[in-house]
Structure 1
Amino acid sequence: MENPIQHLNNSLSWAFINHQQESLDKYKPKLLVNNTETSNYVLTPLLEELDRCRSFIFSVAFITESGLATIKSHLADLKMRGITGKILTSNYLNFNQPKIYKELLKITNVEVRLTDLSGFHAKGYVFQHEGYSTIIMGSSNLTAAALKSNYEWNVKLTSFKDGGLLEQFQCEFENVWNKSVPLTDKWIDAYQILYEEVQKANRKAHTVLPLIPETAQTVFSSIFPNKMQQSALRNLQDLRKTGEHKGLVISATGTGKTYLSAFDVKNFAPNRMLFIVHREQILQKAMIDYQRIIGGKDSDYGLLSGTSRNTNAKYLFATIQTISKSSTLSDFDPESFDYILIDEVHKAGASSYLKIIDYFKPKFLLGMTATPERTDEFNIYELFDYNIAYEIRLQEALEEDMLCPFHYFGVVDFEHNGQTIDDTAMLSQLVANERVSYLIEKIEYYGYSGKAVKGLIFCSRKEEASQLSDMLNTRGYRTVALTGDDNQEIRTRCVIELEAGNLDYILTVDIFNEGIDIPCINQVVMLRQTQSSIVFVQQLGRGLRKHSDKEFVTIIDFIGNYKNNYLIPVALSGDKSQNKDNIRRHMKDSSYIKGVSTINFEEVARQQIFRSISNSNLTALKILREAYLQLKNRLNRIPLLIDFIENDSIDPLIFTDEHSSYYHFLQRIKETVSHLSELEQKYLVMLSTEVLNGKRRHEIILLELLFIKEQVSYEEYVNALNEKGCLTDAETIDSVKRVLDMTFFTEPTRKKYGDTPVIIFTQDQKFTFHPKMAHSLQNNSYFSESISDIIQTASRISEQYVCNEQLTLYKKYSRKDSCKLLNWNNDESSTMYGYKTKHQTCPIFVTYHKHEEVEASTNYQEEFINSEILKWSTRSRRTLESEEVKSIIESDSRKIDLHVFVKKDDAEGTEFYYLGKAHPDQDSAVQASMHDKNGESISVVHMNLILEHSIENKLYRYLTES
């Protein structure tokens, strides 16, 4: 076994002498840059080091609130573990705003000092670990832009405690640290005065005298379409050129849908236009926005709502409640308007909207929404003839910098008598003094961008909103509770008060989910469980509009013990796959979020979500049917499996896992499909189960070839594999044969699959479909299309697996998968248990957190010593002299490959993460005793397995956390 010094020597050789030198990733020097295409950011390794360090020191010239927000939740977790750090900064160039120093004082486990060193411009981060330290140094200050979006160069280095570079860095840090002054309130007050004087002087120096006399009345103002709007406008024009009269725009909240529609109306130049909304509150603003874009006389614009009835206006803005009244509708000729626009059109399934759509006959009808998905099976797409003119969702809008960046913080909700708030919590628990204090602690810690907080707090019920508002007011906050009981006039007045700075928070239940714009919102607090990913995004979206007074919006989500917590990562990522592993991955790695936005979970909250993912049934028939219908409505046909991938919908593998095949799912929901014979159905089940998952591309490539020609020679198949960069050894190809001719499988499995081969390998060395398979493909077009769909979908899925290795690092595999992909002659998974040696391979399966009720004789001591070493145990009643044990201890000399598979717990199902090959540390092998359920002493052998690849940090953290 190599020692850590040797690992580091190898990494230095890799970095500075020969990059072909084998070396553990953990110790390799790395260049850190921000690359949005690969979702690699300087922030990611910085947070990884921070999460597992024993202490840290930062030396940074500049710090912004957004930069500090990226690490706040991680610092809170470190505080819970008693870990402290130091930050050395300055007021160089008066860049740092006074507020950032106040934010730093909130973090009590970090000591901050300020240097007056002239030209202080250092950027370095040092993390102390057990026996070594990691250094990140380069161009990045502690700002969100430097850590996530700017083009930056930083180097990450590893050093043991006696390393010269580390000593130099620490000596230099301590030298400046000891000459620096501690950050205090008194220092901040003094700096505040200096900062304001400098800002005042700068404003005076940059004042430009007006070129136009003050008496001039002309106002020059122009608004141009942004990138999204330009693309959408082109699409709308093209749509109309093809003779279409309807169009649908799907656009995330805050991306400028109203301006877009105004630009399109300007292009269309209608004689009259009707703009319909569902809330009076946004009518006036929409009309003003149109005036800015289109211009014209004030008399051209009119409102139809309540007491306002300017029905003759050229551009009429109406609420659905008013215009849908029969007495109002009868005042209009059906052809009164050339152009009609419906905002928040996902509501158009209601009778009032359908009444309007059926009555009027415009030349063009435009619908706009951020969320076209509905749960009542009404087809919005059909309403607009399936003409999606443009679509941009949250992730794309963030990437295009169309929205205000956000920092999301998932924090654990208040504990009452040792129990976290859940959906059975009584009102008294929700508004207890202790919970209010806890709420204040969190909203103060995570803060907001700007001079004063302007927040929305979403509550779970009306009584909670009202009583919580009263309690916050007694604590010095200025808040008001608004519910559906409050009329429009009261709501509007409260919003104006919030915008003017006369209120700190509006507390509400659901009335502000949509249909209202308050761009100044800089903090959104969620005090209710997530019942719907759509509602979650709507509420988050209340703060995503850009505003000059904020750099970002803070989202604080109080996560209780709710069964629907799994919806949080679903909503944030936009993942609709219903695949638990995908959702877990979004929890482990949030690099999918674009721009300078970040997603952060406090540790306890993170674990609650993981539990929710494991305990939830995401594949219930009702859920799958709903997602299926949404895609069917969008496509206006029965979707193929490949459609689910191309439209980012359900993971197609779920249909196999839950219903044997997609065909059987369609039958289950009573969809009209063509008839398949019993054998044809079994062929579908076999290929859906064994090929669709794409874990080995070889079967897929052979089936693709056979779809093109009746016979494929051995040589042609090998050439095709070579073209795809796949393994072409005889053992792998023989394994492919055994899978497709079904000799690999057990007798019960063959019976399940029809016991009739998919392919046969002829005596003249050619592959061909079995005659029964070929007959069905030739004579049943639906069967042929279904098989083709499976192959095409499998090919797409297979892109995530490497084809020149038997197994792909960190992907998940079952015991049966390991038998198949390691080229065993037969499926021996039923007798594999924890491990089995065969064909010069030994797959080892470990359930890291075993169930409390597991029998003592199988409750082996298995744990990661670190990210490279797994302490592992053999089966019970084994000794150092047992042949199966000796074969593992001597695996290197016997040329037996050990493959390690680990899953967190049994809630993950039958699949395990593949952690790569391992080598036994022979010196660590020791025979020990354990007791069975009867108290009898039984022998077991422990040893350390050294992984060839250091486990990636996020997966290691996920697996090891309890």
Structure 2
Amino acid sequence: MTGFIDKDNVYQGQFSPKLLMNTAQENVLEHIKQQLETCESFIISVAFVTEAGLTSLKSIFYDLNSRGIKGKLITSDYLGFNHPKVFRELLKISNLEVRIFPEEGFHAKGYIFKKENHYSITIGSSNLTSNALQKNYEWNLQFTSHYNGDIVEQVMDAVEQQWEQSLPLSYEWIDTYSVVFNALSEARKRSTTIQLKQQNGIEPNRMQKEALLALSDLRSTGANRGLVISATGTGKTFLSAFDVKQFQPRNLLFIVHREQILQKAMADYKQILGGADSDYGVLSGSIQNTEVKYLFATIQTLSKETRLNSFGKQAFDYILIDESHKVGGESYQRVIEYFQPEFLLGMTATPERTDSFNVYELFDYNIAYEIRLQGAMEAEMLCPFQYFGVIDYEREGEIIDDHSQLDKLISTERVSHLLEKVEYYGYSGEVLRGLIFAVEKDEATQIAKELSERGYKSIALTGDDTIKVRESAVRQLEEGEIQYIVTVDIFNEGIDIPSVNQVVMLRQTQSSIIFVQQLGRGLRKNSTKEYVTIIDFIGNYKNNYLIPIALTGDTSKNKDTIRNKMSKINQIAGISTINFEEIAKTRIFESINAVKLDSMVALKEEYFSLKQQLGRQPWLLDFILNDSVDPEILVKNKKTYPEFLLAIKETTENLSDSQTAFLQFISLELLNGKRQHELLLLKKLISGPIKKTAFIEWLSLNELLVDLKTLESVEDVLTLDFFVTASQERYGNVPLLTKSNDEYNLSSILKLDLGQSLYFKTAFIDALDAGIERAKRYQNNRALTIGEKYSRKDACRLLNWDKDESATLYGYKPKYGNCPIFFTYEKDESLDASVAYEDDFLNAKVLKWYTRSNRSLTSKEVIKIVQSNETRMPIHVFVKKSDGEGSDSYYLGTAKVDNNTVQQVTMRDGKPVVEMNLILDNEVEKSLFHYLMSSSNT
């Protein structure tokens, strides 16, 4: 009804038709994935298939196969578009039967999913290619019909005819097709005119143009030092060459930490700057060519006292330090202290250091430009990647973990498991060029030996190998003489192999920085690959929680934030995808639930990292503005920020009992930003009294929720009337707000405290500002934001209850004109039968829900809920996955009772309970629904 006849006739289910497009919020690929995850079988009929498009679905096909679910795929050889390799990849998927439609002009694009009692069908313009599923402007109609539906019969008849007319895919067919494909490819090459750019005709990309302008602006302020933070593969060397070109130095010094980088850097500079070869020279080891305009030197040679003193202190007016996060070393310090250039530029992908050296300070806190991995992917500056979190080797229930011995890491069975995964998930391009990161040297050596014996020529490289040996291995990999280099961390940085098309992480994630560095080894663009495959073997590692942190760049230390990002992590900027086999994803959620992210050690480390970056003591607002720790986490254990500073032995000022109580109130009750009215009112009152009518008008102008009940609630919160006695005592029994007739004012004690201590006033305003900034994640024109998490206490406050009744709210409570319902989706098996409710989602819009036990159809609270449609009492639904998530629950919005389903039933202990279906006014967001419905994460 809703979709095809009358949009105002709301259908209370999940089967409404929908137009699927690729937008910033969602894309066709995510829809296809979600349909596959919930189907009993599937049929895909598409003319064109690319490796990247197919690879993005491989982990789901793997999970479906483990559940015995099979599918069919019909494609074609139309226009010679599909590469022979993609047909070979299709044959690797054992639960997918593939046929080729033999006639020219086949241009179908349809995805058919058989469900329990219906079909879900998507037909439109999207082929099985990464661009069509994620990027291009596409229209696809998704609709649902019962098995008996006429439209289903028409679609299935057409597909069955296609299937009967099609040829089974086989290796023999691929061999024959390859001849035709190769001939067509050669013809295309001959007809294409390749226009090579002139040597000095290279233009800066968008990022480089922005950075060049920023560097120029920085120097215009008189600054003589600057830092560029740019993800691996984004063209830092070219950027620096462009800046040298605009600076026009008399002499340049380019400093690196490894000799093999020099020649490549010098070649890049020649492309940008031009000039005679005699303008360029190298200072490294036995090469001492220093009488040049542009000198490229290793720090090891340059820092030697006799060599350093051979230069004048002002010999170079522009000095550039590559991988400048290393500048804390003694050799770097010696060089930096010696020279006096007009401008010193540092370049790094990771300025963060594990020691106490402050990289930011050395460059005068001048961050000229910064682009991290997520921004670089969004700007399409890097090669797209297909990340796969896969299950590590398991034998007799024993899984690789933090304490696994070497014999298990290098066992024949684990190597077989490794090969099974790398062969299944594959690589882009014609020739495999892979990097494998192992845990220890002996493991790397043995795995390289095992792989070589199985037909994958491999070399192990460790820190014991010379530069010459490493360079030889890289050359062999690039030229196709070997397929893998197996290494132990030595390729985390400082190595450039653009043709790498597969990166295998065969070790636990110890650091999100190292994780990104290793992932980055394959992110340089190269004509030999369309994307890079990242295969991450996930065992029972306690540090698995670092994976979503590394992939999203999240440093909030907030478990809810990380869980939320993990549940929505499948696709990031651009056409890269992130995929987890279901068991691997479960292990990550287990790790998130188990880890203590907010330890004082971890928070102290983040604090000093931000302090180094800012060059001063940060305030709470700074943590938000710099994407650092969530301020709510900082104050959770210590109650206020000054108390946190005292705990980490930072300088602060003494506060009175009342000042501490006021800060505790703001920090524990309002800093979360879930309603900003109290924060905004307090901030306005610092400047003086305000009329209630003026505040209402201001709220209205700023499109914030404004009604008398909300304002009464705000007043009750700030006068402490809302809180129970214990909370009032914790906050000193001193209100923050007074009200007289139509006027609000600060309480006399708060005004006195603000006037007596500048430090307290600064900390108080900072806590208000941090809460206001944090509130931007919420829809402040409504009481609650769907998809965000709330506690029972939050619900009482935000639904404008007169008092905090969270202690007696339990699972639900109809009161004050509304009824919040809280439930845990996964019940602990040890629960007593009297509270083991069987709440269950029937679909993304309908929830089967149970009242408390020992309730009947005549119970007063049940009657209120059942009659809520007539009385228009809103029912607000909150859910959490499991008790391992803590006390807060996701808000799903309001719901209506399906009165036709209300019935009294009996629980396992024989007590009566009332069962009913609640129909949500909004479908549960797809990624959240999948997270809630997936196998246990705790």
Equivalence for 1:670: 649
Q: What is the aligned-residue RMSD (CA, Å)?
A: 2.0
**Maintained 8 Å contact 1:249/1:366:** yes
**Maintained 8 Å contact 2:686/2:746:** no
1:306 maps onto 2:285 in alignment: yes
Q: CA deviation at 1:219?
A: 7.6
Equivalence for 2:346: 367
Gaps of 5+ in 1: 1-8, 212-217
Task: Give SS of 1:558's match.
Answer: strand
Equivalence for 2:163: 177
Q: TM-score, normalised by structure 1?
A: 0.94
1:812-827 counterparts in 2 under 5 A?
Answer: 812-827=789-804
Equivalence for 1:842: 819
**Maintained 8 Å contact 1:835/1:844:** yes
Counterpart-to-counterpart distance in 2, 1:263 and 1:955: 46
Equivalence for 2:313: 334
Task: Give SS of 1:10's match.
Answer: coil
Q: CA deviation at 1:220?
A: 5.4
1:488 maps onto 2:467 in alignment: yes
2:56 to 33, 57, 70: 70
2:18 to 27, 30, 55: 30
**Maintained 8 Å contact 1:573/1:592:** no
Instruction: Deviation per CA, 1:563-622: give whole Å up to 9, x if none.
Output: 111111111111111111111122111266111111111101111001111111111111
1:624 maps onto 2:606 in alignment: no
Counterpart-to-counterpart distance in 2, 1:536 and 1:206: 40
Q: CA deviation at 1:381?
A: 0.8
Q: Identify the range of structure 1 (676-685 vs 740-749) with the bigger mean alpha-carbon deviation.
A: 676-685
Gaps of 5+ in 2: none
Task: Give SS of 1:918's match.
Answer: strand
Instruction: Deviation per CA, 1:812-833: give whole Å up to 9, x if none.
Output: 1111111111221111111222
1:203-602 counterparts in 2 under 5 A?
Answer: 203-206=189-192, 222-590=201-569, 593-602=572-581
**Maintained 8 Å contact 2:676/2:780:** yes
Counterpart-to-counterpart distance in 1, 2:622 and 2:10: 42
1:854 maps onto 2:809 in alignment: no
**Maintained 8 Å contact 1:341/1:366:** yes
Equivalence for 1:189: 175
Counterpart-to-counterpart distance in 1, 2:183 and 2:871: 77
Instruction: Deviation per CA, 1:823-874: give whole Å up to 9, x if none.
Output: 2111111122222222232222112223343333322222223222323333
Counterpart-to-counterpart distance in 2, 1:455 and 1:423: 25
Q: Identify the range of structure 1 (918-927 vs 867-876) with the bigger mean alpha-carbon deviation.
A: 918-927
Equivalence for 2:584: 605
AA paired with 2:548? Answer: P
1:783 maps onto 2:760 in alignment: yes
Change (3 A) 1:800 1:528: same
Q: Identify the range of structure 1 (834-843 vs 198-207) with the bigger mean alpha-carbon deviation.
A: 198-207
**Maintained 8 Å contact 1:482/1:508:** yes
1:947 maps onto 2:920 in alignment: yes
Equivalence for 1:99: 85
Q: CA deviation at 1:728?
A: 2.9
Change (3 A) 1:335 1:583: same
Instruction: Deviation per CA, 1:182-212: give whole Å up to 9, x if none.
Output: 111111010001111222233344579x99x
Instruction: Deviation per CA, 1:10-61: give whole Å up to 9, x if none.
Output: 3433xxx44x4434573332222222xx332222222211211222111111
Counterpart-to-counterpart distance in 2, 1:669 and 1:103: 55
Q: CA deviation at 1:922?
A: 4.1
Task: Give SS of 1:111's match.
Answer: strand
Change (3 A) 1:224 1:205: closer
Counterpart-to-counterpart distance in 2, 1:206 and 1:694: 58
AA paired with 2:145? Answer: S
AA paired with 2:926? Answer: N
Counterpart-to-counterpart distance in 2, 1:47 and 1:591: 10
Q: Identify the range of structure 1 (181-190 vs 335-344) with the bigger mean alpha-carbon deviation.
A: 335-344
**Maintained 8 Å contact 1:39/1:591:** no
Counterpart-to-counterpart distance in 1, 2:670 and 2:10: 34
1:142-181 counterparts in 2 under 5 A?
Answer: 142-181=128-167
Instruction: Deviation per CA, 1:240-287: give whole Å up to 9, x if none.
Output: 222211111101100111111122222223232221111112111111
Equivalence for 1:884: 861
**Maintained 8 Å contact 2:854/2:913:** yes
Task: Give SS of 1:823's match.
Answer: coil
Counterpart-to-counterpart distance in 2, 1:153 and 1:591: 21
Counterpart-to-counterpart distance in 2, 1:895 and 1:40: 33
AA paired with 2:561? Answer: N
AA paired with 2:152? Answer: L
Counterpart-to-counterpart distance in 2, 1:808 and 1:339: 52
1:907 maps onto 2:878 in alignment: no
1:131 to 117, 120, 129: 117
**Maintained 8 Å contact 2:817/2:874:** yes
Q: CA deviation at 1:460?
A: 0.8
AA paired with 1:723? Answer: L
AA paired with 1:798? Answer: A
Q: CA deviation at 1:455?
A: 0.4
Equivalence for 2:2: 10
**Maintained 8 Å contact 1:631/1:639:** yes
2:710 to 707, 724, 732: 732
Counterpart-to-counterpart distance in 2, 1:149 and 1:277: 38
Change (3 A) 1:42 1:829: same
Q: CA deviation at 1:100?
A: 0.6
1:811 maps onto 2:788 in alignment: yes
Runs of 4+ aligned structure 1 residues displaced above 6 Å come to: none
Task: Give SS of 1:760's match.
Answer: strand
AA paired with 1:32? Answer: L
Q: TM-score, normalised by structure 2?
A: 0.97
Instruction: Deviation per CA, 1:624-657: give whole Å up to 9, x if none.
Output: 1111111111111222222222111111111232
Q: CA deviation at 1:881?
A: 3.4
Equivalence for 2:36: 50
Equivalence for 1:917: 894
**Maintained 8 Å contact 1:701/1:720:** no
Q: Identify the range of structure 1 (182-191 vs 886-895) with the bigger mean alpha-carbon deviation.
A: 886-895
Instruction: Deviation per CA, 1:774-833: give whole Å up to 9, x if none.
Output: 222233222222222222222222222223432221211111111111221111111222
Equivalence for 2:844: 867
Counterpart-to-counterpart distance in 2, 1:440 and 1:661: 52
**Maintained 8 Å contact 2:570/2:579:** no
Counterpart-to-counterpart distance in 1, 2:883 and 2:192: 65
Counterpart-to-counterpart distance in 2, 1:923 and 1:410: 44
Counterpart-to-counterpart distance in 1, 2:326 and 2:12: 55
Q: Identify the range of structure 1 (154-163 vs 533-542) with the bigger mean alpha-carbon deviation.
A: 154-163
**Maintained 8 Å contact 1:412/1:604:** yes
- Percent identity over the alignment is 52
Change (3 A) 1:920 1:205: closer
2:726 to 744, 748, 757: 748
Counterpart-to-counterpart distance in 1, 2:92 and 2:918: 44
Q: Identify the range of structure 1 (792-801 vs 871-880) with the bigger mean alpha-carbon deviation.
A: 871-880
Change (3 A) 1:848 1:485: same
Counterpart-to-counterpart distance in 2, 1:165 and 1:181: 26
Counterpart-to-counterpart distance in 1, 2:56 and 2:571: 15
Counterpart-to-counterpart distance in 2, 1:275 and 1:70: 41
**Maintained 8 Å contact 2:674/2:778:** yes
Change (3 A) 1:293 1:860: same
Counterpart-to-counterpart distance in 1, 2:703 and 2:11: 25
Task: Give SS of 1:327's match.
Answer: helix
Counterpart-to-counterpart distance in 1, 2:915 and 2:81: 57
Q: Identify the range of structure 1 (715-724 vs 112-121) with the bigger mean alpha-carbon deviation.
A: 715-724
Counterpart-to-counterpart distance in 2, 1:260 and 1:931: 69
Equivalence for 1:214: none
